[in-house]
């Protein structure tokens, strides 16, 4: 196994995630190539934990978009703060501002409520980890919109124009396989993260990750360590008693 993959595996373990070589390889390649990583698996196997661990390793913000049926672009992208806009209009009327300039006044960035996708693109402190959780629960229409965002990392807001990513976020998508993923899955394969479905094997650049029972393994390891610690304490007490008898 490559030394860089071993280093990634060790770094993930330090953050409490026991990663198999395939997982460490996928995370490493997604990070180095700046390509989205799709994680498939049953509920509770630790899919979202990969994004959390990656954020901790990179010491950056984790931005989460929870998908569900009926999720629309406004919830995922942005909304205007209508309360603040109305309040500003009333203040402008009191100040007798020029009505022609009111639209420009209230449709500024300060009146924009950034939702997860826009927040991940506009973050100035550096690249964030964007977790798009349970993409299979979203509608196909939202998939098409998400494909456009992930391909260009830019968003057009009619009142403000096109906003481009200052730093490309690290993207992790998860799926519980409640349905087949369409365009997003194909886009990830076209982007170079290739998984050979025909032979059900990994290629040299694996983007689709079937998450193993990592959480269970982690629990078992922690229990084993606790048991060893308790056994050590028990032997220490027995040794102390033995010494006290012969003293």
Residues 141-168 have pLDDT tens digits of 888 888 888 888 888 888 888 888 889 9
pLDDT of residue 200: 32
Model pTM score:
0.69
Per-residue confidence (pLDDT) for residue 242, from 0 to 100: 62
Fold observed for domain 3-69+120-212: Rossmann fold (3.40.50)
pLDDT of amino acid 166: 84
What's the pLDDT at 60? 93
pLDDT at 52: 92
pLDDT recorded at residue 103: 74
Q: Could you say which residues of the chain have pLDDT below 70?
A: 1, 99-100, 180, 182-222, 224, 239-247
> Angle at the Cα of 191 (from 28 to 19), degrees rounded to 5?
25
pLDDT at 182: 61
Q: What is the pLDDT of residue 87?
A: 86
Instruction: Please report the pLDDT score of residue 183 as a whole number.
Output: 52
């Amino acid at each position: 196994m490559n030394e860089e993959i071993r280093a990634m595996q060790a770094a993930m373990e330090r953050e409490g995630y026991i990663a198999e070589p395939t997982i460490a390889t996928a995370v490493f390649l997604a990070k180095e190539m700046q390509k989205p990583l799709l994680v498939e698996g049953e509920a509770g196997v630790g899919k979202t934990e990969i994004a959390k661990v990656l954020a901790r390793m990179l010491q950056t913000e984790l931005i989460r978009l929870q998908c569900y049926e009926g999720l629309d672009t406004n919830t995922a992208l942005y909304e205007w703060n209508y309360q603040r806009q109305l309040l500003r209009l009333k203040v402008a009327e009191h100040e007798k501002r020029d009505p022609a300039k009111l639209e420009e006044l209230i449709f500024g960035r300060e009146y924009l409520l950034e939702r997860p996708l826009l927040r991940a693109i506009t973050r100035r402190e550096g690249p964030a980890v964007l977790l798009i959780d349970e993409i299979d629960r979203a509608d196909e229409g939202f998939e098409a919109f998400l494909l456009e965002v992930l391909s260009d990392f830019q968003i057009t807001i009619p009142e403000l124009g096109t906003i481009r990513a200052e730093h490309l976020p690290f993207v992790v998508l998860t799926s519980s396989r409640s349905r087949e993923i369409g365009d997003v899955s194909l886009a990830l394969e076209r982007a170079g993260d290739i998984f050979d479905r025909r032979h059900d094997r990994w290629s040299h650049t694996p983007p689709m990750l079937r998450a193993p029972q990592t959480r269970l393994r982690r629990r078992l390891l922690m229990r084993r360590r606790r048991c060893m610690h308790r056994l050590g304490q028990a032997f220490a007490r027995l040794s102390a008693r033995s010494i006290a008898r012969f003293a």
